[in-house]
Copies of this chain bind each other. A is one copy, B any other.
Amino acid sequence: MKNLSLYFSAALLAICFIFSGCQNSQTPQSVEQNGEQQELNLEDTKMIKQLFDEALTSRETYSLLDHLCNNIGHRLSGSAGAAKAVEWTEQVMNEYGFDKVYKQDVMVPNWKRGEKEVARIVGSSSGELTVLALGMSVATPAEGLTAEVVEVQSLEDVESLGEENIKGKIVFYNRATDQRHIRTGAAYGGAVDQRSAGPSTAAKYGAVGVVIRSVGTAFDDVPHTGVTSYQDSIPKIPAAALGYQSADRLTEALKQNPNTRLFLKMTCQTLEDAPSHNVIGELTGSEFPDEIITIGGHLDSWDVGHGAHDDGAGCMQSIQVLRLFKKLDIKPKRTIRAVMFMNEENGTRGGLKYAELAEKNNENHLIALESDAGAFSPRGFGVTAEDATIEKFRSWLPHFDRNTITFIKKGGGGVDINPLRNTLGTPTIGFNPDSQRMFDLHHSPNDVFSTVHPREIELGTASIAGLIYMIDKYGL
C-alpha cells in the first residue's frame, strides 16, 4: 500500500513539474526595453499566436515540402527538376488564390555532374573514396587523372609551397571545420575558401586537380558538393569533395607513403545557359500597394538529395507566409511577395535578375527577408538596416514565445536578396534557425525530407509571418 501511494505521489509530482513548465507563452502587457516600460499591443501578440496556431495545426509548409522533395526531388539550375519546381510552385500559388502569380525569365548556368565520380588511392585495397565533383568543375580527361597528392591546410600553404611542390600534382585541401563555433555557419564560413578559391589557387602553381575535405560538420563519409569559382585567367582544373572519413583515409595513406597517388575521374560538363525563372506570388497591399516586402528562398538545389533544408524549406515557408495571411484574413497594407529565386547555388542569376528588374521598373522595396539556413527551430533574425529599425524590431521580441525568436542581431540578409540591397539599398533580413544540424546535411545526399521536423519548419514559417506582420503594420 505504501508503495502504491508513493507511485501516486510521484506521478502527481511529475505532473506538477510538467505543468510548472507550461508557462512558456510570453504575453506581457508591458515590457522593459532600454530601461523604459513600453506598452505592447496585445492584439499583435494575439495575432502572432494565431499565426503559430495555424501553422502548427495545418502543417502545410511540411506537406508542400514533402511534395517538392518526394515528387519532384533535387533541382539544379537547368535540370528537369528545376523546371518542374517552377511549374508546380506557380500552380500552388495560383491555387491558393494569391492576388498575382507570375514568373521572371532568367538564363541560368547549366552544369551537369555526369557519371558517378571515382576517386581512388592507387594501389590500396581500401582506396576507394567517397567523392562528389564540386559544382561548376570541369571534367578530368576521359580516361581519368592520376597524380601524386600534396596535402595542405590552407590557400596560404599552397602559396608557400609554390610551383616546385605543386606542379603536376593533385592538391588536397584538408582543413576541417572548426567545431568550436557555436553557430555552424561560422564553422562552414571558416573552411569554405578551400572549396571556392582552392582550385584556382592550386592551378596557379600548376596543380592538375584538387580534392578537398568536405566542408561540413558531420564525421561520416558522405561528401558535400558546392560551387567552386574559377578565376578567368587561370587554367580550370577538376575539383572534388571527399567524405570526411575518406579524407582521413587519404591523410593516413600520405603518412604511410608521401608519394601516394590518387586516381580521379569525373565527366562533368557545362552546357549553354538554359532558360529558367524566378516564381513570384503576391498579396497586393491595401494602403501602400507600391511598397514591396519580399520574402524568399531559392528553388534550385544541388543535384544530390532533395534540397530539403537547402532550400526547399525557405521556398515553402515563403509561400506559407502569404497563405497564413489569407487564412487569417490579414489584409496587408503593403504588397507582400513570396519569391522563389532560381540559381542561388551556382550563379545567383535569379537574385541578380530580381534586383535588375526592381531597378528597371522603379520598384519601391521596403525590406526583403530570406530563409536559407534550414528548416530547424527558430532562434532569431539578422537584420541589415538602420539602427533605429533594428531597435524597433527588438521591441517586438516579447510578442514571440521564448522558445522561438529570441534575438534580432545586427547584420543579416541572404545570397538572393543581397543584390537588392546592393542595387537599391533595400534593408535585408536573414532568418536564423538553430544551426546545429544544417552543415551535417548541406549540399549532400543527406539533405532529404526525412530530416525535416514538421513542428520545427512550421515554427519557422510562423516566426517569419509574425515579423512580416509587424513590419507590414508598423513599417521600419
What is A's interface to B at a CB cutoff of 8 Å? 1, 3-25, 32, 34-36, 52-53, 56-57, 109, 136, 179-186, 188-190, 192-193, 196-197, 217, 227-232, 273, 346-349, 352, 377, 379-380, 382, 384, 401-404, 406-407, 409-415, 418-419, 430, 432, 434-437, 453, 455-456, 459
Q: Are B455 and A21 in contact (CB under 8 A)?
A: no
State the CA gap A382–B227 with chains docked (Å). 44
Which of B25, B57, B379, B412 interacts with A182 by CB under 8 Å? Answer: B25
Q: Are B411 and A402 in contact (CB under 8 A)?
A: no
Contacts A180-B56, A182-B403; is A230 near B4 (CB within 8 Å)?
A: yes
State the CA gap A19–B411 with chains docked (Å). 10
Contacts A5-B232, A402-B409, A415-B17; is A186 near B348 (CB within 8 Å)?
A: no
Shortest CB-to-CB span from A1 to chain B, Å, is: 6
Contacts A10-B415, A196-B11; is A19 near B437 (CB within 8 Å)?
A: no
Shortest CB-to-CB span from A214 to chain B, Å, is: 16
Q: Are B415 and A14 in contact (CB under 8 A)?
A: yes
CB-CB under 8 A from A409, the residues of chain B are: 23-24, 402
Q: Are B192 and A15 in contact (CB under 8 A)?
A: yes
Can you spell out 19 A-B residue pairs with CB atoms less than 8 angstroms apart?
Answer: A4-B229, A6-B349, A8-B231, A11-B196, A11-B228, A13-B419, A14-B415, A16-B418, A21-B186, A21-B430, A22-B183, A22-B186, A32-B34, A52-B180, A56-B182, A182-B401, A184-B455, A406-B406, A436-B456
State the CA gap A6–B349 with chains docked (Å). 8
Q: Are A346 and B406 in contact (CB under 8 A)?
A: no
Shortest CB-to-CB span from A293 to chain B, Å, is: 20
Beyond contacts A10-B346, A25-B182: 6 other A-B pairs, Cβ-Cβ < 8 A, are A1-B232, A3-B273, A21-B185, A182-B403, A183-B403, A406-B406
Contacts A182-B401, A186-B22; is A352 near B4 (CB within 8 Å)?
A: no
Shortest CB-to-CB span from A302 to chain B, Å, is: 13
State the CA gap A21–B435 with chains docked (Å). 11
Shortest CB-to-CB span from A144 to chain B, Å, is: 25
Shortest CB-to-CB span from A244 to chain B, Å, is: 13
Q: Are A379 and B402 in contact (CB under 8 A)?
A: yes
CB-CB under 8 A from A430, the residues of chain B are: 17, 21
State the CA gap A5–B453 with chains docked (Å). 38
CB-CB under 8 A from A196, the residues of chain B are: 11, 14-15
Shortest CB-to-CB span from A322 to chain B, Å, is: 21
Which of B10, B415, B459 interacts with A227 by CB under 8 Å? Answer: B10
CB-CB under 8 A from A414, the residues of chain B are: 17
CB-CB under 8 A from A406, the residues of chain B are: 379, 402, 406-407
CB-CB under 8 A from A197, the residues of chain B are: 11
CB-CB under 8 A from A192, the residues of chain B are: 15, 18
Shortest CB-to-CB span from A149 to chain B, Å, is: 25
Beta-carbon nearest neighbor of A380 in chain B: B402
Which of B9, B15, B22, B382 interacts with A21 by CB under 8 Å? Answer: B382
Q: Are B6 and A348 in contact (CB under 8 A)?
A: yes
Which of B6, B22, B185, B453 interacts with A189 by CB under 8 Å? Answer: B22
State the CA gap A9–B8 with chains docked (Å). 66
Q: Are B411 and A20 in contact (CB under 8 A)?
A: yes
Contacts A20-B411, A180-B53, A434-B434; is A109 near B3 (CB within 8 Å)?
A: yes
Q: Are A437 and B453 in contact (CB under 8 A)?
A: yes
Q: Are B437 and A179 in contact (CB under 8 A)?
A: no
Contacts A17-B413, A403-B379, A407-B402; is A185 near B10 (CB within 8 Å)?
A: no
State the CA gap A34–B401 with chains docked (Å). 20
CB-CB under 8 A from A4, the residues of chain B are: 229-232
